[in-house]
Chains A and B, each alone.
Chain A
């Protein structure tokens, strides 16, 4: 017997059964994005107006390609974590909420994979 309310007895990993997983990964990706985002924005700023050949050469450098893959992967992971919270906060119709979450997750993974394939194609010189 317990005098605690049903709301108070949520223990261990909590009602969502994932504990602080969401919160924790949002922080880890946020920290990773501090250098990655700064690097990307200033690189693109420096490349604004550059000839195609120069941008191609830039993207074919192994370090740049690796950083770009990391950047887009972490960006899409971080973005879908954030958007998930926004959807959960404002969409209260149960089926619509789950539909939005599914659409969000699928779109994020799709765009991330497309971006990574493009970067690899350019880096490996196997593009069209």
Chain B
């Protein structure tokens, strides 16, 4: 019995030492990295995933413009006119168009992510179907928003 315990304790010690060595090796060995982006053929799934992060960063970078717009409303007529001049210019409209598409894309693909979070839609066929749906829905929403903007022209 004692012999058995002794052997067992020895094995424990050996395992701990083994773990320590393994940790050291894991930390220092240059392991081969998996083939990265430039190796893989672009696929809808990976492109949409990258786009989700890309649009998120792009939308974040646009938030100072949101604060600028709010500020201009409070600052008074002249400052608001200046802001309107900026947002209504060709560059301003281009940026706003990109921003609105990025927002609708991130929103639609975010819903796709929430669907995955509750455990649904992981099979390849569904992943592709929801992927194309996101692209279509975000394009439609962008067009609807811009048609609404041009149709009302501030008439509310």
Binding site for B on A (CB under 8 A): 1, 3, 5-6, 27, 30-31, 33-34, 37-38, 41-42, 45-52, 54-56, 58-59, 68, 72, 75-76, 79, 82-83, 86, 111, 114-115, 118-119, 121-122, 127-128
Provide the main secondary structure of the chain B interface.
helix
12 sample A-B contacts, Cβ–Cβ < 8 Å, listed by A number? A27-B117, A33-B107, A33-B110, A38-B107, A41-B100, A48-B152, A51-B154, A86-B56, A115-B66, A122-B70, A122-B73, A127-B74
Cβ–Cβ contact B156 & A127, under 8 A: no
Q: Which of A1, A37, A56 contacts B107 (CB 8 A)?
A: A37
Shortest beta-carbon distance from B58 to chain A in Å: 11
A-B contact count (CB 8 A): 114
Cβ–Cβ contact A86 & B57, under 8 A: yes
CA distance A118 to B77 in the complex (A): 15
Cβ–Cβ contact A46 & B15, under 8 A: no
- Nearest first, the 7 A-B pairs at minimum CB distance are A50-B154, A49-B154, A1-B12, A45-B149, A127-B74, A48-B149, A52-B80
Question: Quick one: which of B70, B80, B87, B104 has the most chain A CB within 10 A?
Answer: B70
Cβ–Cβ contact B107 & A34, under 8 A: yes
Known: A27-B114, A75-B66. 10 other contacts (CB 8 A): A6-B19, A6-B23, A41-B100, A49-B149, A52-B77, A111-B63, A114-B67, A127-B74, A127-B76, A128-B74
Given A30-B110, A52-B77, A127-B74, answer yes or no on A42-B145 (Cβ-Cβ < 8 Å): yes
Cβ–Cβ contact B148 & A75, under 8 A: no
CA distance A56 to B56 in the complex (A): 29
Cβ–Cβ contact A52 & B107, under 8 A: no
Say whether B64 faces chain A, with CB atoms less than 8 Å apart.
yes
- Residues on B with beta carbons closer than 8 Å to the beta carbon of A27: 114, 117
Shortest beta-carbon distance from B100 to chain A in Å: 6
Given A27-B114, A34-B107, A121-B74, answer yes or no on A45-B146 (Cβ-Cβ < 8 Å): yes
Contact with A along B134-156 (1 / 0, CB 8 A): 00000000000110110011111
CA distance A98 to B154 in the complex (A): 44
Shortest beta-carbon distance from B41 to chain A in Å: 23
Given A27-B114, A86-B53, answer yes or no on A118-B66 (Cβ-Cβ < 8 Å): no
- Residues on A with beta carbons closer than 8 Å to the beta carbon of B60: 79, 82-83
